[in-house]
Amino acid sequence: MKRTPMYERHVAAKGRMVEYGGWDMPVQYEPTGIKTEHLNVRSDAGLFDVSHMGEILVEGPAAEAWVSSLVTNDITVMKDFQVQYNIMCNEAGGVVDDLLVYRYDKEKYLLVVNAANVDKDWQWFSSHLPREGVALRNISDETAEVALQGPKAEAILARIADFDPSTVAFFHFVDGVHVAGIPALVSRTGYTGEDGFEIYVPWDRGAELWDAVMEAGAPDGLLPIGLGARDSLRFEAGLPLFGHEYTDEIGPIEAGYGFFVKVDKPGGFIGRDALKRQKEEGPKRRLVPLRMEDKGVPRQGMEVADETGKIVGFVASGGYAPSLDANIASCYVAPPVPAAGENLWVVIRDKARKGVVVKRPYYSRKQGS
Protein backbone atom coordinates (compact mmCIF):
# COMPACT_ATOMS: atom_id res chain seq x y z
CA MET A 1 0.00 0.00 0.00
CA LYS A 2 1.19 3.50 -0.81
CA ARG A 3 1.85 6.07 1.91
CA THR A 4 1.64 9.84 1.72
CA PRO A 5 4.42 12.01 3.20
CA MET A 6 2.12 12.63 6.18
CA TYR A 7 1.74 8.94 7.04
CA GLU A 8 3.88 9.17 10.20
CA ARG A 9 1.87 12.17 11.33
CA HIS A 10 -1.39 10.21 11.04
CA VAL A 11 -0.01 7.31 13.04
CA ALA A 12 1.34 9.68 15.71
CA ALA A 13 -2.10 11.34 15.96
CA LYS A 14 -3.66 7.86 16.42
CA GLY A 15 -5.24 7.76 12.98
CA ARG A 16 -7.14 4.56 12.26
CA MET A 17 -5.47 3.56 9.01
CA VAL A 18 -7.45 1.90 6.22
CA GLU A 19 -6.89 1.08 2.57
CA TYR A 20 -8.40 3.61 0.17
CA GLY A 21 -7.67 3.49 -3.57
CA GLY A 22 -4.38 1.72 -2.90
CA TRP A 23 -3.37 4.19 -0.17
CA ASP A 24 -2.96 3.69 3.57
CA MET A 25 -5.09 6.57 4.89
CA PRO A 26 -6.69 7.62 8.20
CA VAL A 27 -10.46 7.05 8.23
CA GLN A 28 -10.63 8.87 11.57
CA TYR A 29 -8.40 9.80 14.49
CA GLU A 30 -9.01 7.94 17.75
CA PRO A 31 -9.15 10.97 20.07
CA THR A 32 -11.95 12.54 18.00
CA GLY A 33 -13.87 10.29 15.58
CA ILE A 34 -15.94 11.07 12.51
CA LYS A 35 -18.73 13.05 14.16
CA THR A 36 -16.45 15.36 16.16
CA GLU A 37 -14.15 15.85 13.16
CA HIS A 38 -17.12 16.63 10.91
CA LEU A 39 -18.61 19.21 13.29
CA ASN A 40 -15.21 20.81 13.89
CA VAL A 41 -14.83 21.55 10.18
CA ARG A 42 -18.24 23.24 10.20
CA SER A 43 -17.60 25.26 13.38
CA ASP A 44 -13.85 25.98 13.20
CA ALA A 45 -11.46 24.22 10.86
CA GLY A 46 -10.03 20.89 9.77
CA LEU A 47 -6.92 19.73 7.94
CA PHE A 48 -7.13 16.86 5.44
CA ASP A 49 -4.24 14.98 3.88
CA VAL A 50 -5.29 14.64 0.24
CA SER A 51 -1.85 13.84 -1.14
CA HIS A 52 -3.35 10.72 -2.70
CA MET A 53 -5.21 12.85 -5.26
CA GLY A 54 -3.87 12.80 -8.81
CA GLU A 55 -2.37 15.83 -10.55
CA ILE A 56 -1.78 15.99 -14.30
CA LEU A 57 -0.10 18.93 -16.02
CA VAL A 58 -1.24 19.68 -19.57
CA GLU A 59 0.89 22.00 -21.71
CA GLY A 60 1.08 23.02 -25.34
CA PRO A 61 -0.60 25.13 -28.02
CA ALA A 62 -3.50 22.64 -28.27
CA ALA A 63 -4.01 22.36 -24.51
CA GLU A 64 -7.27 24.30 -24.35
CA ALA A 65 -8.92 22.50 -27.25
CA TRP A 66 -7.77 19.12 -26.02
CA VAL A 67 -8.92 19.52 -22.40
CA SER A 68 -12.20 20.92 -23.69
CA SER A 69 -12.74 17.83 -25.84
CA LEU A 70 -12.61 15.61 -22.74
CA VAL A 71 -14.76 17.50 -20.24
CA THR A 72 -18.39 18.56 -19.98
CA ASN A 73 -18.03 22.16 -18.81
CA ASP A 74 -16.95 25.09 -21.00
CA ILE A 75 -13.33 25.73 -20.08
CA THR A 76 -12.97 28.40 -22.77
CA VAL A 77 -14.78 30.90 -20.55
CA MET A 78 -12.18 30.48 -17.79
CA LYS A 79 -9.78 33.28 -16.96
CA ASP A 80 -6.14 32.71 -16.02
CA PHE A 81 -5.74 31.40 -12.44
CA GLN A 82 -9.34 30.29 -12.29
CA VAL A 83 -10.51 26.80 -11.27
CA GLN A 84 -13.53 25.04 -12.74
CA TYR A 85 -15.43 21.90 -11.73
CA ASN A 86 -15.67 19.39 -14.55
CA ILE A 87 -16.87 15.92 -15.39
CA MET A 88 -15.07 13.63 -17.80
CA CYS A 89 -17.53 11.30 -19.51
CA ASN A 90 -17.37 8.23 -21.71
CA GLU A 91 -19.22 7.99 -25.05
CA ALA A 92 -22.37 6.68 -23.36
CA GLY A 93 -22.56 9.62 -20.97
CA GLY A 94 -21.30 7.65 -17.97
CA VAL A 95 -18.44 9.05 -15.95
CA VAL A 96 -14.72 8.36 -16.22
CA ASP A 97 -13.99 10.76 -13.37
CA ASP A 98 -14.83 14.20 -12.06
CA LEU A 99 -12.02 16.70 -11.73
CA LEU A 100 -10.93 20.24 -11.07
CA VAL A 101 -9.40 22.11 -14.01
CA TYR A 102 -6.87 24.83 -13.06
CA ARG A 103 -6.04 27.25 -15.86
CA TYR A 104 -2.66 28.99 -15.88
CA ASP A 105 -3.26 30.21 -19.43
CA LYS A 106 -4.69 28.79 -22.64
CA GLU A 107 -1.61 26.63 -23.07
CA LYS A 108 -1.20 25.33 -19.53
CA TYR A 109 -3.68 23.54 -17.29
CA LEU A 110 -3.49 21.47 -14.13
CA LEU A 111 -6.05 18.67 -13.79
CA VAL A 112 -6.77 17.30 -10.30
CA VAL A 113 -8.42 13.88 -10.33
CA ASN A 114 -9.61 11.29 -7.82
CA ALA A 115 -6.98 9.14 -6.12
CA ALA A 116 -8.69 5.86 -6.95
CA ASN A 117 -8.90 6.82 -10.64
CA VAL A 118 -5.40 8.18 -11.36
CA ASP A 119 -4.24 5.15 -13.38
CA LYS A 120 -7.52 4.84 -15.28
CA ASP A 121 -7.57 8.58 -16.03
CA TRP A 122 -3.96 8.56 -17.18
CA GLN A 123 -4.79 5.78 -19.63
CA TRP A 124 -7.87 7.68 -20.79
CA PHE A 125 -5.84 10.86 -21.33
CA SER A 126 -3.05 9.01 -23.09
CA SER A 127 -5.39 7.15 -25.43
CA HIS A 128 -7.08 10.40 -26.45
CA LEU A 129 -3.96 12.46 -27.09
CA PRO A 130 -3.67 14.29 -30.40
CA ARG A 131 -0.60 13.71 -32.55
CA GLU A 132 0.91 17.01 -31.49
CA GLY A 133 0.31 20.18 -29.56
CA VAL A 134 -0.17 18.67 -26.10
CA ALA A 135 2.35 17.35 -23.59
CA LEU A 136 1.15 15.57 -20.44
CA ARG A 137 2.98 15.09 -17.19
CA ASN A 138 1.64 13.01 -14.31
CA ILE A 139 2.98 14.85 -11.26
CA SER A 140 0.88 12.91 -8.73
CA ASP A 141 3.94 11.24 -7.19
CA GLU A 142 5.79 14.51 -6.72
CA THR A 143 2.85 16.52 -5.37
CA ALA A 144 1.62 16.50 -1.77
CA GLU A 145 -1.68 18.19 -1.00
CA VAL A 146 -3.65 19.29 2.03
CA ALA A 147 -7.13 20.74 2.27
CA LEU A 148 -7.60 23.36 4.99
CA GLN A 149 -11.35 23.76 5.41
CA GLY A 150 -13.76 25.60 7.65
CA PRO A 151 -14.71 29.15 8.70
CA LYS A 152 -11.28 29.68 10.35
CA ALA A 153 -9.29 28.46 7.34
CA GLU A 154 -8.51 31.92 5.98
CA ALA A 155 -7.27 33.25 9.34
CA ILE A 156 -5.09 30.18 9.85
CA LEU A 157 -3.55 30.33 6.40
CA ALA A 158 -2.90 34.08 6.73
CA ARG A 159 -0.51 33.36 9.64
CA ILE A 160 1.89 31.29 7.54
CA ALA A 161 1.39 32.47 3.95
CA ASP A 162 3.54 35.04 2.13
CA PHE A 163 0.39 36.36 0.41
CA ASP A 164 -2.99 37.57 1.65
CA PRO A 165 -5.40 34.62 1.34
CA SER A 166 -8.40 36.97 1.42
CA THR A 167 -7.37 38.16 -2.07
CA VAL A 168 -7.86 34.66 -3.52
CA ALA A 169 -11.47 34.44 -4.69
CA PHE A 170 -13.59 31.28 -4.55
CA PHE A 171 -12.46 28.84 -7.27
CA HIS A 172 -9.31 30.81 -8.05
CA PHE A 173 -5.67 30.01 -7.31
CA VAL A 174 -2.20 31.44 -6.91
CA ASP A 175 1.06 29.71 -7.73
CA GLY A 176 4.68 30.46 -6.90
CA VAL A 177 3.65 31.56 -3.38
CA HIS A 178 4.98 30.17 -0.09
CA VAL A 179 3.22 28.62 2.87
CA ALA A 180 5.47 28.29 5.92
CA GLY A 181 8.37 28.94 3.56
CA ILE A 182 7.42 26.02 1.31
CA PRO A 183 6.80 26.76 -2.37
CA ALA A 184 3.11 26.17 -3.02
CA LEU A 185 0.09 26.40 -5.27
CA VAL A 186 -2.96 27.48 -3.27
CA SER A 187 -6.56 27.42 -4.47
CA ARG A 188 -9.74 28.50 -2.72
CA THR A 189 -11.50 25.20 -3.27
CA GLY A 190 -12.64 22.21 -1.27
CA TYR A 191 -14.99 19.32 -0.87
CA THR A 192 -16.79 20.10 2.39
CA GLY A 193 -19.36 22.81 1.72
CA GLU A 194 -17.25 25.22 3.81
CA ASP A 195 -14.86 27.98 2.86
CA GLY A 196 -11.30 26.74 2.58
CA PHE A 197 -8.13 26.19 0.64
CA GLU A 198 -6.27 23.39 -1.04
CA ILE A 199 -2.48 23.66 -0.83
CA TYR A 200 -0.13 21.80 -3.20
CA VAL A 201 3.56 21.47 -2.34
CA PRO A 202 6.50 19.26 -3.36
CA TRP A 203 6.08 15.70 -2.09
CA ASP A 204 9.11 15.79 0.20
CA ARG A 205 7.86 18.93 1.96
CA GLY A 206 4.43 17.44 2.75
CA ALA A 207 5.08 16.53 6.39
CA GLU A 208 6.67 19.92 7.01
CA LEU A 209 3.58 21.64 5.59
CA TRP A 210 1.30 19.46 7.73
CA ASP A 211 3.18 20.40 10.91
CA ALA A 212 3.21 24.10 10.04
CA VAL A 213 -0.53 24.26 9.34
CA MET A 214 -1.42 22.24 12.44
CA GLU A 215 0.69 24.56 14.57
CA ALA A 216 -0.74 27.72 12.99
CA GLY A 217 -4.26 26.38 13.50
CA ALA A 218 -3.89 25.33 17.12
CA PRO A 219 -5.29 28.62 18.55
CA ASP A 220 -8.38 28.14 16.35
CA GLY A 221 -9.01 24.54 17.33
CA LEU A 222 -7.81 23.04 14.05
CA LEU A 223 -8.13 19.25 14.00
CA PRO A 224 -6.79 16.64 11.58
CA ILE A 225 -9.72 15.09 9.69
CA GLY A 226 -9.95 11.56 8.30
CA LEU A 227 -11.63 10.14 5.22
CA GLY A 228 -14.80 9.29 7.15
CA ALA A 229 -15.65 12.92 7.83
CA ARG A 230 -14.43 13.89 4.36
CA ASP A 231 -17.20 11.68 3.00
CA SER A 232 -19.91 12.82 5.42
CA LEU A 233 -19.03 16.49 4.83
CA ARG A 234 -19.16 16.21 1.04
CA PHE A 235 -22.37 14.18 1.17
CA GLU A 236 -24.16 16.64 3.47
CA ALA A 237 -23.11 19.49 1.17
CA GLY A 238 -24.66 17.64 -1.80
CA LEU A 239 -21.34 17.06 -3.58
CA PRO A 240 -21.05 13.95 -5.77
CA LEU A 241 -18.49 11.16 -5.36
CA PHE A 242 -17.35 8.79 -8.09
CA GLY A 243 -18.48 5.28 -7.22
CA HIS A 244 -21.65 6.63 -5.58
CA GLU A 245 -23.48 9.40 -7.48
CA TYR A 246 -21.30 8.85 -10.55
CA THR A 247 -20.37 5.52 -12.10
CA ASP A 248 -19.19 4.49 -15.55
CA GLU A 249 -22.90 4.05 -16.36
CA ILE A 250 -24.45 6.96 -14.47
CA GLY A 251 -23.60 10.49 -15.45
CA PRO A 252 -24.03 14.14 -14.56
CA ILE A 253 -27.51 14.70 -16.05
CA GLU A 254 -28.97 11.84 -14.06
CA ALA A 255 -27.12 13.10 -10.98
CA GLY A 256 -28.65 16.55 -11.39
CA TYR A 257 -25.40 18.35 -12.21
CA GLY A 258 -26.53 19.43 -15.67
CA PHE A 259 -25.31 22.94 -14.88
CA PHE A 260 -21.76 21.64 -15.46
CA VAL A 261 -22.67 20.06 -18.81
CA LYS A 262 -22.54 22.49 -21.72
CA VAL A 263 -23.81 20.30 -24.53
CA ASP A 264 -23.69 23.08 -27.10
CA LYS A 265 -20.18 24.31 -26.37
CA PRO A 266 -17.96 24.74 -29.45
CA GLY A 267 -15.97 21.69 -30.52
CA GLY A 268 -18.09 19.16 -28.63
CA PHE A 269 -16.72 16.62 -26.13
CA ILE A 270 -16.75 12.91 -25.46
CA GLY A 271 -20.23 11.84 -24.33
CA ARG A 272 -21.87 14.96 -25.71
CA ASP A 273 -24.48 13.20 -27.88
CA ALA A 274 -25.64 10.87 -25.11
CA LEU A 275 -25.84 13.72 -22.59
CA LYS A 276 -27.66 16.02 -25.01
CA ARG A 277 -30.26 13.31 -25.59
CA GLN A 278 -30.67 12.88 -21.82
CA LYS A 279 -31.08 16.61 -21.38
CA GLU A 280 -33.74 16.79 -24.08
CA GLU A 281 -35.66 13.58 -23.44
CA GLY A 282 -35.10 13.31 -19.71
CA PRO A 283 -32.83 10.68 -18.17
CA LYS A 284 -34.10 7.22 -17.24
CA ARG A 285 -33.39 7.91 -13.55
CA ARG A 286 -32.74 10.96 -11.45
CA LEU A 287 -30.93 11.54 -8.19
CA VAL A 288 -33.37 12.37 -5.41
CA PRO A 289 -32.23 13.75 -2.03
CA LEU A 290 -34.01 12.09 0.86
CA ARG A 291 -34.13 12.84 4.57
CA MET A 292 -35.27 9.92 6.70
CA GLU A 293 -38.29 10.27 8.96
CA ASP A 294 -38.33 6.69 10.22
CA LYS A 295 -35.38 5.32 12.16
CA GLY A 296 -32.66 3.36 10.42
CA VAL A 297 -29.66 4.35 8.38
CA PRO A 298 -29.85 4.11 4.60
CA ARG A 299 -26.69 2.74 2.93
CA GLN A 300 -25.39 2.53 -0.61
CA GLY A 301 -27.13 -0.17 -2.67
CA MET A 302 -30.32 -0.45 -0.62
CA GLU A 303 -33.59 -0.52 -2.57
CA VAL A 304 -35.95 2.45 -2.69
CA ALA A 305 -39.73 1.95 -2.87
CA ASP A 306 -42.78 4.11 -3.51
CA GLU A 307 -45.86 4.12 -1.26
CA THR A 308 -47.27 1.02 -2.94
CA GLY A 309 -44.11 -0.89 -2.10
CA LYS A 310 -42.94 -1.01 -5.69
CA ILE A 311 -39.15 -0.81 -6.03
CA VAL A 312 -38.39 2.38 -7.96
CA GLY A 313 -34.68 2.85 -7.36
CA PHE A 314 -31.66 2.44 -5.14
CA VAL A 315 -29.48 4.38 -2.70
CA ALA A 316 -26.31 5.94 -4.15
CA SER A 317 -25.01 7.40 -0.86
CA GLY A 318 -26.54 7.09 2.56
CA GLY A 319 -25.62 7.74 6.12
CA TYR A 320 -25.82 9.86 9.21
CA ALA A 321 -25.45 13.60 8.68
CA PRO A 322 -23.85 15.04 11.84
CA SER A 323 -24.72 18.70 11.14
CA LEU A 324 -28.39 17.82 10.65
CA ASP A 325 -28.50 15.06 13.27
CA ALA A 326 -30.51 13.08 10.73
CA ASN A 327 -30.05 10.20 8.34
CA ILE A 328 -29.96 11.16 4.67
CA ALA A 329 -29.71 9.40 1.33
CA SER A 330 -29.20 10.24 -2.31
CA CYS A 331 -31.41 7.88 -4.31
CA TYR A 332 -31.53 7.06 -8.00
CA VAL A 333 -35.21 6.84 -8.89
CA ALA A 334 -36.99 6.11 -12.17
CA PRO A 335 -39.46 8.79 -13.35
CA PRO A 336 -41.97 10.06 -12.39
CA VAL A 337 -39.69 11.48 -9.73
CA PRO A 338 -41.38 12.68 -6.53
CA ALA A 339 -41.18 16.38 -5.67
CA ALA A 340 -39.79 17.89 -2.47
CA GLY A 341 -42.12 17.14 0.42
CA GLU A 342 -43.30 13.83 -1.03
CA ASN A 343 -42.27 10.49 0.41
CA LEU A 344 -40.06 7.59 -0.61
CA TRP A 345 -39.18 4.50 1.39
CA VAL A 346 -35.77 2.88 1.81
CA VAL A 347 -35.78 -0.87 2.36
CA ILE A 348 -33.51 -1.38 5.36
CA ARG A 349 -33.18 -5.00 6.48
CA ASP A 350 -36.45 -6.01 4.78
CA LYS A 351 -38.45 -3.15 6.28
CA ALA A 352 -39.59 -0.09 4.33
CA ARG A 353 -38.56 3.07 6.19
CA LYS A 354 -40.08 6.38 5.30
CA GLY A 355 -38.15 9.41 4.13
CA VAL A 356 -39.16 12.79 2.78
CA VAL A 357 -37.77 14.22 -0.45
CA VAL A 358 -35.79 17.38 0.25
CA LYS A 359 -33.84 19.88 -1.80
CA ARG A 360 -30.11 19.63 -2.33
CA PRO A 361 -27.86 20.55 -0.60
CA TYR A 362 -28.97 18.92 2.61
CA TYR A 363 -26.70 21.34 4.45
CA SER A 364 -25.48 24.78 3.42
CA ARG A 365 -23.40 27.17 5.45
CA LYS A 366 -24.89 30.45 6.55
CA GLN A 367 -24.31 33.43 4.29
CA GLY A 368 -21.31 35.47 5.33
CA SER A 369 -19.81 32.76 7.51
The residues of the shown chain that bind another protein, judged by CB under 8 A, are: 16, 27-28, 30, 33-36, 228, 232, 295-297, 299, 319-320, 322, 327, 349
CB-wise, 34 or 58, nearer to another protein? 34
**Distances from the Cα of 54 to the Cα of 68, 116, 185, 217, 252, angstroms:** 19, 9, 15, 26, 21
CB-wise, 31 or 181, nearer to another protein? 31
- 53 within 8 A of 112, measured Cβ to Cβ: yes
Report, in Å, the least distance between residue 355 CB and another protein.
Answer: 14
CB-wise, 264 or 325, nearer to another protein? 325
Report, in Å, the least distance between residue 33 CB and another protein.
Answer: 5
Looking from the CA of 109 toward its CB, the CA atoms found within 13 Å total 29
Q: For residue 336, is the peptide bond before it cis, meaning its omega torsion is within 30 degrees of 0? A: yes
The closest alpha carbon to 239, from 340, 121, 364, 338, belongs to: 364
Give residue 132's identity as a one-letter amino acid code. E
Report, in Å, the least distance between residue 10 CB and another protein.
Answer: 13
Provide the 3-class DSSP secondary structure of residue 197: strand
Report, in Å, the least distance between residue 193 CB and another protein.
Answer: 17
CB-wise, 283 or 355, nearer to another protein? 355
Report, in Å, the least distance between residue 211 CB and another protein.
Answer: 22
Q: What string of DSSP letters covers 48-106?
A: EE-TTSEEEEEESTTHHHHHHHHBSS-GGGPPTTEEEEEEEE-TTS-EEEEEEEEEEET
Report, in Å, the least distance between residue 45 CB and another protein.
Answer: 20
The torsion angles phi and psi of 209, rounded to 5 degrees, stand at -60, -45
CB-wise, 297 or 356, nearer to another protein? 297
Report, in Å, the least distance between residue 322 CB and another protein.
Answer: 7
* Burial letters 195-229, b for 16+ CB under 10 A, else e: bbbbbbbbbebbbbbbebbbebbeeeebbbbbbbb
Provide the 3-class DSSP secondary structure of residue 137: strand
CB-wise, 30 or 162, nearer to another protein? 30
Using DSSP bridges, classify how beta strands 223-224 and 46-49 pair: parallel, antiparallel or unpaired: parallel
CB-wise, 157 or 302, nearer to another protein? 302
Report, in Å, the least distance between residue 282 CB and another protein.
Answer: 34
CB-wise, 165 or 318, nearer to another protein? 318
